[in-house]
């Protein structure tokens, strides 16, 4: 039996069910109080936001590091130039392994760990208390964030994208360390409900999950991808808790596969000239692969106004990113 759980062949399967137990130091022990709805073999609705993973092309190194992350229950920190496909990888994994829709946390300089774990609308609850003359149930005013939802104790891991972590406040990577290491977090607002189980809504989902004594403990560590454009360095304590991948720029052969996957074999066969021009331009300036796809798609239209101005469209669509 192959050791690979993720193969990169873009065919959904249930291989995640044969993932071996985690290392002893990555066991978390959360109890499944309620199982989330899992994607089935023919349940296309569960793949609605993972369709981009159907065309993602992987290298053997990418397959190896994804599987290592699955075995070791560790996040992957992916660095690379804009447009190199960093964020697309997780969609390919979620699609193939039937992990459901990808949970997304887009980082800004104002992002905080608590916002990613849960949000509590204290003002809204106070206003309703004043209006009704009594305190309403707290569950209406609590909602799990993307990271909090990813850590819910379910039998199949979730897929979590933490996008552009290098844009964060300087303290955020360190704030993530304890959550990554412990696989759990507390909701202080629920501590007073120590003997109650409160059902909290998951992030961007209709499902509510029971939380007892204000603590969430994961059972299966989520498949986490953090992306970075390489604009800053990270603390060594943060780096040692991640597997690291430098996303390479696709070469001639890989570009052909990407074009074929997105636009069809016929387009790839007719795209040699524009691919060579793209590679030449990329050697002297930053270009993204989606620019190449845009250019090929336009030139495939075979209309007089486009064909007669081929070079104009190439210059327009293959403009160096650094000059935008």
Over residues 150-184, the pLDDT tens digits come to: 999 998 999 999 999 999 999 999 999 999 999 99
pTM, to two decimals: 0.86
Asked if residue 324 has pLDDT above 50, the reply is: no
Q: What is the average pLDDT across 127-140?
A: 74
Supply φ then ψ for residue 223, to 5 degrees: -80, 110
Q: How many CB atoms lie within 10 A of CB 153?
A: 22
42 pLDDT more than 60: no
């Amino acid at each position: 039996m192959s050791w690979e759980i993720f193969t990169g062949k873009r065919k959904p399967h249930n291989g995640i069910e044969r993932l071996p137990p985690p290392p002893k130091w990555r066991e978390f022990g959360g109890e499944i109080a309620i199982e989330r709805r899992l994607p089935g073999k023919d349940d296309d609705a569960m793949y609605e936001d993972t369709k981009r993973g159907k065309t993602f092309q992987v290298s053997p190194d990418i397959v190896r590091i994804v599987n290592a992350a699955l075995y070791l229950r560790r996040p992957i920190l992916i660095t690379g130039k804009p447009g190199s496909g960093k964020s697309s990888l997780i969609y390919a994994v979620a699609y193939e392994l039937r992990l459901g829709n990808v949970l997304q946390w887009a980082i800004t300089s104002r992002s905080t760990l608590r916002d990613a774990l849960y949000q509590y609308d204290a003002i809204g609850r106070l206003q309703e208390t004043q209006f009704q003359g009594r305190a309403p149930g707290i569950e209406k005013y609590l909602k799990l964030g993307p990271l909090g939802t990813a850590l819910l104790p379910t039998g199949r891991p979730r897929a979590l994208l933490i996008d552009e972590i290098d844009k964060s406040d300087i303290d955020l990577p360190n704030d993530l360390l304890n959550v990554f290491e412990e696989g759990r977090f507390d909701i202080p607002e629920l501590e007073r409900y120590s003997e109650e189980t409160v059902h909290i809504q998951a992030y961007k989902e209709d499902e509510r999950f029971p939380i007892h004594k204000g603590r969430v403990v994961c059972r299966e560590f989520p498949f986490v991808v953090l992306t970075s454009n390489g604009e800053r360095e990270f603390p060594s304590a943060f780096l040692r808790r991640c597997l690291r991948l430098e996303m390479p720029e696709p070469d001639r052969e890989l570009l052909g596969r990407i074009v074929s996957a997105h636009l069809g074999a016929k387009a790839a066969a007719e795209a040699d000239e524009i691919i060579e021009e793209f590679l030449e331009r990329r050697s002297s300036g930053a270009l993204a692969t989606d620019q190449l796809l845009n250019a090929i798609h336009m030139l495939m239209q075979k209309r007089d106004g486009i064909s007669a101005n081929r070079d104009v469209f190439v210059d327009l669509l293959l403009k160096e990113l650094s000059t935008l």
